[in-house]
Structure formats: C-alpha cells, structure tokens
Amino acid sequence: MDEIKERFERLKRKLKRKFNKKQKAKNYNNKKRKPTQSGKTGTKKKRPLQPRERIEETREEPKISSRPREVVGRKPKPVKKNQKKKRITKEEFEKRKKKKRKENIVEIIKFMFPVVLFAVFVFFFILNTSPHMVDGDSMKPTLLNGDRVIVRRTKEPKRYEIITFKPPVKSEFQYVKRIIGMPGDLVWTEGSDLFINHQAESLPKASELSAASELPDGTIKINLSEDSLAQMSQLKKIPKGYYFVLGDNRNNSSDSRTFGLVEGQSIEGVVSLRFAPFNNIGWIK
C-alpha cells in the first residue's frame, strides 16, 4: 500500500509541474507588447527570445482528422468530365424497337404455350373432342367453307343440334348437318312430300292431309327424292336410333332428303365450338 501511495504522489507532482509550465507559457504569450518610439531611424526593440524548451512546450499537438473508412474491395468510379451522350440514329432506334418487339413476342409465346397445351389436353382427352374442317356451303350461313370446329364425341345429340356423321352413301368425308327429326317423331307422306311432327300423338286423318291449315302444330313439310321417299313412306314413326338431318342451305345440301335416315352409330359427335377463323370464334347453336 505504501508503494502505491508513493507512486500516486510522484505522478501527482509530475502532472502539477507540467500544468504550471503550460500556464506560464500561456501567460507569457498573452502579454501585450507596447510599441516604443525611437528616433529618426525608427528602430523597434527586439523581442527577447524565449528559451528553446518553452517554445517546444507551447507547440500544440497536431489534430488528427478522422478519415472515413474505405470500403474494402470497392474502387471509386472515375468521374468522366465533359462526357457527351451518344446520339442514336434512326436505324439503331428501329433495330432496338424490333429487338424489343421480338422479346415481347417470345415472352407471350412462353406464357401462352402451357395454356394452349392445357386447353388441348382438356378438349381432346377430358372432354373427348376432335377437330374438323367444314368443306362446302351446305351449312351456310351457320358454318362457312373452311371453318374449323370442335366436335364433342360423347354428347347425346338433340333436336336442331349440328352433328358430324358418316353418310349412308359412298364418301371419303364426314357430313355436317342439323338434326330435324328425332327417334319417335310421327312421319307420313303425301305424294313426294314428307311431314314430320314431334308434338302430335297420332297421325291426322286422310281428309286433313290435303289442307295445310288442318295440319297439327309443329309439322314440318319436306320434299323428298325417290330413294328417300321409298324408305320414309313405309314408316309411321322414326325408329329408335335413327335421325332425319338437313343442311341449313337447303338449295345446296345433300342430306336425308336424298339418302334417308341417319343411323345413330354413324354419328361421330355434336359440333359445339368454332375455333377458326379467329375473327369468328364462338359457340355453335
């Protein structure tokens, strides 16, 4: 403990001496100098030189300015003075525009491709459909030549729906027609005319056949060929599993008026959607 006290006293005395020296030097520098008048020569009294030790003591230690830490691994970007922007020519601008357009098209294709694949999968595998192209004007104005349609193979055909089927005549193509007569509809003939009615429960009397005003409501009158008339004249109802079909363009259509009834097994499906041309996409009724 005594040694610690002695060291503390020594350190205290040393600090006191240093403080007194600094105070004396400060007081000396703050003294005002009085100008002395001399003779004609105008000489001034020379300032007495201070001891070297005192001058050294009065010198203040230089302040160390704190510099910001430099980020390791980052080099400052050289600042280019008077840097001029390059002028883009018309050709370069058009090239950039075309390039950007191509990139946009590629992005759209990338986005649409999986959507199209999914739609194709749904249509052809889940909904059990198939595409067809209309050939001819027999369904005009509903379907035009070259229209591409989707046919649902699993749907049960109903009256006035459009179907595709293999005709009972020699043909490499399938026909597209509209169902007019369904199984169970009443049918009768008069001359070369066929009458179809799905509302009446019994055939009209022979006296009522000649008067159009006496025909039952919902009766359709159709003119038949000789081959079709021979088949239909023997029937009172359309048999189960058979259909009577017509084209919407009656003046330019080969249908049941020519080849008679269509068997249900030869029907492929019901036309439900037109997907081309693009300006005429929509559901078919």
Residue listed under structure tokens 């005009």: 140
Gap between the Cα atoms of 112 and 114, Å rounded? 6
| C-alpha torsion angle, residues 4, 9, 12, 13 (rounded to 10) | -140
Q: Is 226 helix (H, G, I), strand (E, B) or coil?
A: helix
| List of E strands, 108-201 | 129-133, 148-152, 162-165, 175-181, 186-190, 193-197
Q: Which residues are catalytic?
A: 138, 177
Longest dimension (CA), the chain: 167
Cβ distance 132 to 174 under 8 Å?
yes
Q: Is 130 helix (H, G, I), strand (E, B) or coil?
A: strand
| List of E strands, 88-169 | 129-133, 148-152, 162-165
Gap between the Cα atoms of 272 and 282, Å rounded? 9
Q: What phi and psi values does residue 184 have, to the nearest 5 degrees?
A: 95, -10
How many other CB atoms are found less than 10 A from the CB of residue 152?
A: 18
